[in-house]
Structure 1
Amino acid sequence: MNISINPSLFQTNDQLKIGIIHYTKIVVSESPQMIKGRTRLYQENLFLELQETSVTERPGIAEWRKVWKSFGADPNRYRHSAESLMRRISKENYLEPFHLGVDLNNFFSLQFEIPIGIYDLSKIQGDVVITVGDEETGYEGLNGRFNTLKNILCSIDDDGAFGSPFVDSRRTAVTEETTNALQIFYLRPSLTEDECHELLQSAGKMFCQVSGGDYKTFILSSNEPTISL
């Protein structure tokens, strides 16, 4: 499988970077109490911080709002997933445990202040291209409705779009049957590649410490717009 970025995206932002973690032989189950407790404590501390500074003042959230807007989407109408999660927490509407894949994905998104998606690799068909959607791009999302992705970054395989930093599709959702997964990190463009590698290694290591299995990390950028799993 090849994963690539549409080269035209670099005309809008030549520092755009997408992180990829490929997980194999993982076990997705109910999150252990350690993860549940750590995630809850993190949210409670974040809630307190957000009483002093607004969600949109957080560096990662603010940076991705600018990226969002640069590709033509309205960040006030279509909020990226990290901002949506953080706004929930600012209202003390904490995230409830779902399963290990979703729980850790949400934790990383809050920690790094960036949108992140995780997908069942067995449900992805052919190669993957990260691009910007048009009027016809969309899917049934995890939010329970059809989502149009015009001017929004998205991941597309042979069957169409399946993921985005807005909301992910039902088709490729990770379940407790998932053993191989693809995690896509919409990295802050301001980070250096070394900082991006460090972030991905930290996330992959933590994920596999709990889920078992193995992981490999990759970065898509203008220097390397295509990688092969």
Structure 2
Amino acid sequence: MKDVIIDDSFWQTYPEAQINLMWLTGFDNHDTDDNLAERQELLRTATAESDKFTKVDPFRNNPVVAEWRDAYQQFPKRKGARSSIEALLKRASQGHEFTPIEPLVDVYNSISLRYGVPVGIEDRDKIAGDLHLGTAQGGESFFPLGAEEDDPARAGEMIYYDEDGAVCRSLNWREAQRTMLTDDTTNGIVVMESVNADQAARANEAMAALAELIPTYFGIKPDKTAVLTAETK
């Protein structure tokens, strides 16, 4: 990956948006029993904290959920596509017990649950050229996890993309297996999207909390962080 570029089409759609970024280099993401119990407790505690985002009944009326559903109305998408944070909060509200998957996934899922923000991490070494966020031309190649057939992006859909196709469809709905985090990933780019000031404030707190956890679990410090808005892009 060369750089992260937020296209004007994104800012035109979401003028109050904010994108938080963090670069991580040289980490070991292989699963280990050394901190398995700690990661399990991290997820358990975060799941309990997520209750503050799911108190309203019905579920769709919770502010975090409702705000992202409104945001998803701004572009064409596959029926049923929802933000990653809605999917995570829904599982938590239904009593799902999150168990460790791999270190970095566990850490960022805990942050997402604690702060009610979408968190995504891509393998920088697998991104071709610049990583863009903007509206799709239509037809950008996309193979989600487990897919055997191409499921191209729709024209006007809000996507992350690079020179080889879509990296994540519908903002943060589903990522491509081509660039997804694996246990062999050593260099990553962390992304958090916000579409209003309240979300942005939580994202700032979430990124700071994530930066504190990275040295504990991976023995490295983030290379750098950045906050992009329509004014500071």
Report the TM-score range of the alignment, normalised by the length of the smaller protein. Answer: 0.7 to 0.9
1:175 counterpart (160, 167, 182): 182
Q: What does 1:1-229 align with in structure 2 at a 5 Å threshold? A: 1-30=2-31, 32=35, 33-44=37-48, 46=50, 50=54, 53-73=57-77, 77-142=80-145, 144=147, 146-150=150-154, 151-164=156-169, 165-191=172-198, 196-215=203-222, 216-225=224-233
1:23–1:182 contact (8 Å) kept in structure 2? yes
Q: Partner amino acid for 1:29? A: H
- Identify if the C-alpha distance between structure 1 residues 48 and 131 changes in structure 2 by more than 3 Å, giving closer, same or farther: closer
Greater shift, 24-33 or 215-224, is seen at 24-33
- Identify if the C-alpha distance between structure 1 residues 156 and 10 changes in structure 2 by more than 3 Å, giving closer, same or farther: same
- Identify if the C-alpha distance between structure 1 residues 221 and 133 changes in structure 2 by more than 3 Å, giving closer, same or farther: same
2:24–2:221 contact (8 Å) kept in structure 1? yes
Give the number of aligned pairs: 224
2:142–2:152 contact (8 Å) kept in structure 1? yes
2:135–2:159 contact (8 Å) kept in structure 1? yes
Could you give the per-residue CA deviations for residues 120-169 of structure 1, whole angstroms, max 9, x where no partner exists?
11111111110123541341112646544434432111111112400111
TM-score by length of 1: 0.84
Q: Which runs of 4+ in 1 moved over 6 A?
A: none
2:53–2:62 contact (8 Å) kept in structure 1? no
Could you give the per-residue CA deviations for residues 69-117 of structure 1, whole angstroms, max 9, x where no partner exists?
123447x721111111222222223333210121122222222222221
- Identify if the C-alpha distance between structure 1 residues 38 and 144 changes in structure 2 by more than 3 Å, giving closer, same or farther: same
Greater shift, 87-96 or 21-30, is seen at 87-96
Matched residues in 2 for 1:40 and 1:198: separation?
A: 20
- Please report the RMSD computed on the Cα atoms of aligned residues, expressed in angstroms: 2.7
Matched residues in 2 for 1:22 and 1:90: separation?
A: 31
Same amino acid, percent of matched pairs: 22
2:167–2:176 contact (8 Å) kept in structure 1? yes
- Identify if the C-alpha distance between structure 1 residues 90 and 218 changes in structure 2 by more than 3 Å, giving closer, same or farther: same
Could you give the per-residue CA deviations for residues 13-69 of structure 1, whole angstroms, max 9, x where no partner exists?
211111111011222132622121120243256469847644333332222221111
- Identify if the C-alpha distance between structure 1 residues 224 and 48 changes in structure 2 by more than 3 Å, giving closer, same or farther: closer
Q: Partner amino acid for 2:20? A: G
Matched residues in 1 for 2:151 and 2:106: separation?
A: 23
Gaps of 5+ in 2: none
Matched residues in 1 for 2:88 and 2:21: separation?
A: 21
SS of equivalent to 2:16: coil
- Identify if the C-alpha distance between structure 1 residues 68 and 192 changes in structure 2 by more than 3 Å, giving closer, same or farther: closer
